[in-house]
């Protein structure tokens, strides 16, 4: 049965509620432009997932964040969760978020560990890009 046939909001695939909500709603999806915007990118060649995390930084804090992702629902949910969590944080606070925290927050199973690692890599890339721009 497809998700559409099951009805809106129905999760016939067994993803955690945290993943399914972020996948179906995709909060903070999109692009940022303008001064102070930095971009981090990560990919997992084995399954071709990609994640781009963007943040607009002002006064040492992230004032806005967006993501774009290609991959399974869990990879998309990771991008949405990171963009939500980034707002209001410093780069050091963002850099402290690792795969273990992402897994716990989204209830990611071992079979999708690569999605949490993708998120961690995107954070590292974003922090490096922001640090290089200083």
Task: Specify if 35 maps to a domain.
Answer: yes
Q: Is residue 55 part of a domain?
A: yes
Q: What mean pLDDT is predicted for residues 48-60? A: 95
Q: Cα separations (Å) of 124 from 1, 66, 106, 120?
A: 38, 16, 19, 6
β-bridge mates for residue 66, sequence order: 54
Averaged pLDDT score across all residues of the chain:
92
User: Does the residue 107 lie in any domain?
Assistant: yes
Q: Which structural domain range is residue 66 located in?
A: 14-132
Q: Does residue 1 lie within any of the structural domains? A: no
Question: Residue 26 belongs to a domain with what CATH number?
Answer: 3.90.1010.10
Per-residue model confidence as pLDDT tens digits over 70-82:
999 999 999 999 9
Q: Specify if 53 maps to a domain.
A: yes
Q: List, for residues 97-110, the tens digit of each pLDDT value.
A: 999 999 999 999 99
Whether 4 maps to a domain, the answer reads no
Please indicate, yes or no, if residue 9 is contained in any of the structural domains.
no
Place of tokens 């795969």: 99
Domain assignment of residue 78, yes or no: yes
Q: How many CA atoms lie within 13 A of 104 on its CB side?
A: 5
Task: Indicate the number of domains in the chain.
Answer: 1
């Amino acid at each position: 049965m497809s998700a559409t046939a099951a009805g809106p909001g129905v999760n016939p695939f067994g993803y955690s509620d945290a993943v399914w909500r972020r996948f179906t709603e995709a909060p903070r999806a999109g692009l940022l432009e303008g001064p102070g915007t930095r971009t981090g990118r990560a990919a997992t060649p084995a399954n071709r997932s990609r994640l781009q995390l963007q943040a607009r930084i002002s006064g040492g804090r992230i004032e806005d964040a967006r993501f774009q992702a290609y991959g399974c629902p869990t990879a998309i949910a990771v991008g949405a969760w990171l963009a939500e969590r980034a707002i209001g944080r410093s780069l050091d606070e963002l850099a402290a978020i690792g795969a273990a925290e992402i897994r716990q927050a989204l209830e990611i199973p071992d079979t999708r560990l690569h999605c949490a690692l993708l998120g961690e890599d995107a954070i590292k890339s974003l922090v490096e890009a922001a640090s290089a721009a200083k």
